[in-house]
Structure 1
Amino acid sequence: MVSVVCTLDHHANEVSGCAFSASLLASCSGDKTLRVYSAVDFSERPYSPLCGHEYGVHCCCFTSCGSYLLSCSTDGAIAVWSTDTGARVSALEHPSRSPLRACAVAPDSSLVLGGACDGTAALWDFSSGTLRRFLAVSEASVAACCFSPCAQMFVTGSTHGTLRLWGVDGSILCVQKDAHDLGVTCCSFAPQFTVGTYGCCVELQLASCGQDSRLKIWIVSQYEGTGTLTPLLHTLTGQSAPVLSCAFSSDGALVVSGSVDKTVAIYDTVSYLCMFWFRYVTAVAMSPTKPWLATGSMDRTVKVWRIGDGEDTTDRKLPSRSTLTLLSDWSEEDVQTWLREEGLEELVGIFKSNNIDGSELSRLNRESTFVIPESVGLRGRLLRKVESLKAAQSGSDGPDEFLGPITRELMRDPVIAADGYSYEREAIESWIRGKTKTSPMTNLPLQTTLLIPNRSLKMAIARWKSSQ
C-alpha cells in the first residue's frame, strides 16, 4: 500500500532533486533555491528557502549526521549549508567553474564528489574544503555519482552512457561502457553488502538508470584494494520514458525509480518484481528512519508517500489541486473540488449539470457560454484560473520554448549561439566567459562565441506575455 502523507508546493519551478536526513527533508529546484522541511510534521523550517546559487540547483544531499546540506548548481559550485541555521557555511568551487550536474557526500562525511558538464569530477576533503582529486572522466557531462557504503569507492555516470568505478585515490577500478544508451541519469548504491563466495570479496548492489528508460541493477565486487563491476544482475523495463532518478531504501529491501513518463516504480530487491506504481516524478529519495518516500516533479511539488500498512496514511494537508493528477485525468468530482478551492463555488452546480471533467475544463474558452451563462466577470475569473492551472501543471512560467535552457526562466533578451540554440544573453555570456567553451545543450565545442539576437523569439515572448 502506498498513500500520500504530505504535499509540498512551495517551489516556483520544477523540482530537480530531493533528499532525506533522519530529521529533515530537502528539495532543490530550477528556481535556484532549496526548501527544507521537518521530517516529523513536514512544516518548512524558518530559514527556508535557502538562496545563494546563481542558477538552477540540480542535486542536493545531506551529510550522514544531518548537520549539513550540500547542493550543486549550474553556477559551478557546491554550497554547504548548516541545517541548524540555514547559513551557507562554505562553497566548494569546481576548478574550472564548469556547471555541476551531480554531487554526493561519502557515508562517513569525509569526502564530497561533484560531477561536471565538462566531463570532469572533483573530489574534495569535506572538513577542510581542499581539493583532493580532479579527474578527467569523460568527453561528455558527468550526470551521476555516488559513493559506496564503505566510502572506499565511488561511481560516475556520463551522458555518453558509461559507468566508471573509482577508488578514492583516483584510480579507475572498472569501466562499463554503454551501460545506458543515450546516457546515465542517476546511480545509487544499496546500503548493505554481502560476503562473496568463499569470503574472498564483498559484494554490493548498484542501481543505475538512464535515458534508455531502463533501471539496471549491478553487482560490484570489492576485493582488497580493488573492485569490479560484474555483468548485469537485472534490467527493469517497466517504465516507458527516460528514468531520471533511483534510490534504495535504508534497509536495502526496496529500490525505487522515477521516470519522465510521470510514474514511480517500487521494486523489492529479492525478486525485483514491481510492487507499486504511481504518478508524477522526476526525483526520488528514501527516508533513513521511516517508511517514507519523497518524490519531486515537474509540476513544482514534492510529495511524501508512506510505503506499507500502518497509521499516519492520510494527507496532512486538506485536498488541493496540487495533489491531483494531470488536468486531463481529472474526474468531474476533481473539477468540482478545484472550483471550491478557488472560490468559485457558484459554478459547481453548473459544471456538475454539464458533466465537466478535467479534459473539458482544459478546453474552456470565452465562447463556452453554456458553462457561464451571464457573468462576464465570473467568466474572466474562471478562464484566468484555468490558464494559471495549466501553466502550473506544465511546470514552467511559460511555454518551454520561451525558457532559457540555462536559467529555465522566461527569456528577456534571447540570442542564438553557434550550436543553433537560443539562450538568455546574460546566461550564455557568463557561460562563455568561463573555461567551458562547449554548448550547454550538446556538450560539443562552440565554433564561435558570436551571439545573434533572436528578434522573432523576443517578439513571440512579448506577444505571449501581453496575452496573459
Structure 2
Amino acid sequence: MVSLICTLQDHRDDVNWCVFSAKLLATCSADKTVRVYYTKDFSELPFSPLSGHGYPVHCCSFSPCGQYLASCSTDATTVVWQMDSGEIEAVLEHPGRSPVRVCAFSPDSVHLVSGASDGTLALWDFTSRSILRTGGVADTTMVACSFSPCGQLFVSGSMYGDLRVWNLELKQLYAEKSAHDLGVTCCQFAPQMQKGTGGNVVQFRMASCGQDSLLKVWNISYTPHAGCKMQLLHTLTGQTAPVLSCSFSADGQMLVSGSVDKTVTVYEASQGTLLYTLSQHERYVTACAFSPMAPLIATGSMDKSVNVWRVEDGCSTHEGKFLPGEEAASSCEGGKMGGHSRLMPSDWSEDDVSSWLRQEGLEALVDVFKANNIDGSELLALNKDALATDMKVESMGLRSKIIRKIEELKMESMCTGVPDEYLCPITRELMKDPVIAAGECWWSTSGFHDCAYEEGT
C-alpha cells in the first residue's frame, strides 16, 4: 500500500526535480530556487530556500555522501551548495554558456556531469571543481543523464529520442537512436550491477521514459574490450500521456514514474508489473524520486507542490528500515565515501570490514566477523561452508546474502578505473604484487593471480 504522508507547497512555480539523500529531500523549481527539507519530519532547513540562480532551476543532485548538492539552471551554470551551511561551494559555468538542463554525480563523488540545451556534455573533476572534457551531440538538447553503479559509464538522453552510453573519456560506447519517439525525458540506472554469463561481463538495468508515453526498462551489458550493448526488457504502458520522470528504489525492486496525465505509477521492476496508480496531483507530474534509506517516494508537479508518499510494504535497500543517522552519512573528503571505500577490498582491515557490513545492512554479523578476525582478504575468500561451519552463521538467507555482497565486491574491480595492465586477462580480477609477465599467469594461494617474468626470455 502507498499512502500520502506530506504535501510541501513552498514553491511559487512548477516543480522541476526532486531528489533524496540519506537525511534530506531537495526540490527545485521554475521559481529559480532550490528548497531543502529534513526527511525526519519534512521541516525546511534554516538556510532554505537556496537562491543563487538567476533563471529556472531544472535539476538537482546530491553527492552520494549528502554533503553537497548540485543544481543546474537556464542561467548556464551548475551551482554546488554545501549542505551543512547552504553556502555556495562552486559555480561551474557550462562551456558555450548554454542553459544547463541536467546534472548528476558519479557514485564515488569524483565526477559530476552536466548536459545543456546545445547538446553538449561537460564532465567535471569534482575534487578540483574543474572541467575535464566536453562532448555531446549537436543540434539537440540534453535532458537526461545517469551514472552506472560502478561510476565508469553514464547514459545521456536527448530530445532527439536517443540514449547514448559514454565512458569517462567521453567516448561514445553505444547509441540507441530510437529509444523514445519525440524525445527522452528522463533516465536512471538501478543501483545494483550484476555479473553476466560471459565471465568478465557486467550488466546494469536502466529505466528511461519519454514523450511517447512509455516507460522502458533496459539491460546494459559491458565488457572492457567489447564495449556496451543495450537490450529492451520491458515496455510499460501504465500512463496515457508523456512520461516525464522515473526513478528506481534503492534495492532496484520498484520503479516509479510521473506523467503529463497527472498520475504517478509504481511498478515491480523485474517483471514490469503495475502495482499502484496515484492521482493526487492536479497538474503534470514532472519529478519523482525514491529515498535511498527509507520506504519513501517524493513526487513534484506543475501544481507547485511536492507530495511525499510512504510505501508500506517496503522498498529500501535495508528491508524498509531507517538507518541510524551516523551509519547513513559518511565523509566526502577527497571525493570518496568513507575510509574503506578508498581501498581495494583485499586491503581492508577488520574495522573496514565492519564498516562495510554496517553499510550493507548486515550489522548482525559485525561481532561474528570480528571474533573470527575477518579482514579484506579473508572476506573475499569466504564461502557458504565457512560461514555455516566455521563462523556458525545459522541463517541460510543471511549466508546467501553475504555471499552475494562479496560477489558484488569482486565484480566492482572490473569497473573501478584500475589500469587494464593490473587486471588478470583471464578473470579481470586485480593482481596482487604484479610484475611484468611474458606469457605465463600463475595462480597464487591468495586467490589472486601473480605473473612471473625472467629477464631476457
User: What TM-score results when the alignment is normalised by the length of structure 1?
Assistant: 0.65
Aligned partners of 2:198 and 2:248: how far apart in 1? 27
Write the deviation string for residues 176-220 of structure 1: whole angstroms up to 9, x where unpaired.
Answer: 011100000100000011111142301100100011001011111
- Aligned to 1:118, what secondary structure does the other structure show? coil
CA–CA distance in structure 2, aligned partners of residues 303 and 261 of structure 1: 16
- Is the 2:176–2:230 contact (alpha carbons within 8 Å) kept by the matching residues of 1? no
- 1:164-313 to 2 correspondences below 5 Å: 164-225=164-225, 227-279=227-279, 280=281, 281-309=285-313
Give the CA deviation at 1:136: 2.8
Flag the 1:249–1:92 CA change in 2: closer, same or farther, 3 A: same
Match of 1:399 in 2: none
The Cα offsets for residues 77-129 of structure 1, whole Å up to 9 and x where unpaired, read as 00000111011111111011100111101010110111100011111000111
- What SS class does the counterpart of residue 165 from structure 2 fall into? strand
Query: 1:257–1:138: structure 2 CA closer, same or farther, 3 Å change rule?
Result: farther
Q: Partners in 1 of 2:296 and 2:6 — Cα distance?
A: 10
Aligned identity (percent) is: 55
Q: What root-mean-square deviation, in Å, do the aligned CA atoms of Structure 1 and Structure 2 show?
A: 1.1
SS of the aligned residue for 1:37 comes to strand
In 2, Cα distance between the equivalents of 1:90 and 1:157? 26
Give the equivalent residue in structure 1 for 2:342.
none
The answer on whether the counterparts of 2:173 and 2:227 sit within 8 Å (CA) in structure 1 is yes
What amino acid does structure 2 have at the position aligned with 1:148? S
Amino acid aligned to 1:104: A
Output one character per residue of 1:12-62: Cα deviation in whole Å (capped at 9) or x when no partner: 001000000000000000000000000111000000000010100000010
Number of the residue aligned with 1:459: none
Alignment of 1:363-402 (within 5 A): none
8 Å CA contact retained: 1:53, 1:75: yes
Displacement of 1:225 in angstroms is: 4.9
Q: 1:257 offset after TM fit, Å?
A: 0.7
Map 1:49-448; keep pairs closer than 5 Å: 49-225=49-225, 227-279=227-279, 280=281, 281-309=285-313
| Unaligned ranges ≥5, structure 1 | 311-468
Distance in 2 of aligned mates of 1:112 and 1:296: 24
Separation in 2, partners of 1:247, 1:227: 25
How far apart are the structure 2 equivalents of 1:9 and 1:37? 12
1:19 equivalenced with 2:23 (yes/no):
no
- Give the SS at the match of 1:96: helix
2:54 and 2:225 map into 1 onto residues whose CA distance is 40
Letter in 1 for 2:192: Q
Shift of 1:171: 1.0
- Deviation of 1:289 after TM superposition, in Å, equals 0.3
Map of 2:43 onto structure 1: 43
- The 2-side partners of 1:115 and 1:28 are apart by 17
| Paired position in structure 2 for 1:366 | none
Q: Is the 8 A contact 1:165 1:229 kept in 2?
A: no
Query: TM-score if structure 2 supplies the norm length?
Result: 0.67
Q: Distance in 1 between matches of 2:144 and 2:227?
A: 19
What SS does structure 2 have at the residue aligned with 1:51?
coil
Checking the alignment, whether the CA contact within 8 Å between 1:111 and 1:123 is kept in structure 2 is: yes
Unpaired stretches in structure 2, ≥5 consecutive residues? 315-457
Contact 1:295-1:303 at 8 Å conserved across structures: yes
Give 2:70's aligned amino acid.
L
Shift of 1:227: 3.3
Q: Contact 1:220/1:227 (CA < 8 Å) preserved in 2?
A: no
Q: 1:55–1:73: 8 Å Cα contact kept in structure 2?
A: yes
Indicate conservation of the 8 Å contact 1:218/1:229, yes or no. no
Question: SS of 2:129's equivalent?
Answer: coil
Name the SS of the counterpart of 2:90 in structure 1: strand
Q: Residues 230-265 of structure 1: CA distance to partner in whole angstroms, max 9, x if unpaired?
A: 221111111111111001000101011110111111
1:381-425 superposed Cα distances (whole Å, 9 cap, x missing partner): xxxxxxxxxxxxxxxxxxxxxxxxxxxxxxxxxxxxxxxxxxxxx
How many residues align? The count is: 310
* Cα 1:130/1:58, change in 2 over 3 Å: same
Are residues 48 and 225 of structure 1, via their aligned partners in 2, closer, same or farther at CA, if it must alter by over 3 Å? farther
Distance across 2 between alignment mates of 1:113 and 1:194: 24
Following superposition, the deviation at residue 309 of structure 1 comes to 4.3
Residue 282 of structure 1: CA displacement? 1.4
8 Å CA contact 1:167–1:226 kept in 2: the answer is no
Q: Are the equivalent residues in 2 in contact too, given 1:173–1:226 (CA < 8 A)? A: no
Asked if 1 retains the 8 angstrom alpha-carbon contact of 2:11 and 2:305, the reply is yes
Q: Indicate if the aligned counterparts of 1:138 and 1:158 stay in contact, CA closer than 8 A.
A: no
2: CA distance between counterparts of 1:32 and 1:162?
A: 29
Q: Does structure 2 conserve the Cα–Cα contact (< 8 Å) formed by 1:146 and 1:187?
A: yes
Q: Distance in 2 between matches of 1:256 and 1:226?
A: 32
Distance in 1, matches of 2:253 and 2:300, equals 22
Q: In 2, Cα distance between the equivalents of 1:199 and 1:5?
A: 46
CA apart distance, 1:228: 1.7
Q: Which has the larger radius of gyration?
A: 1
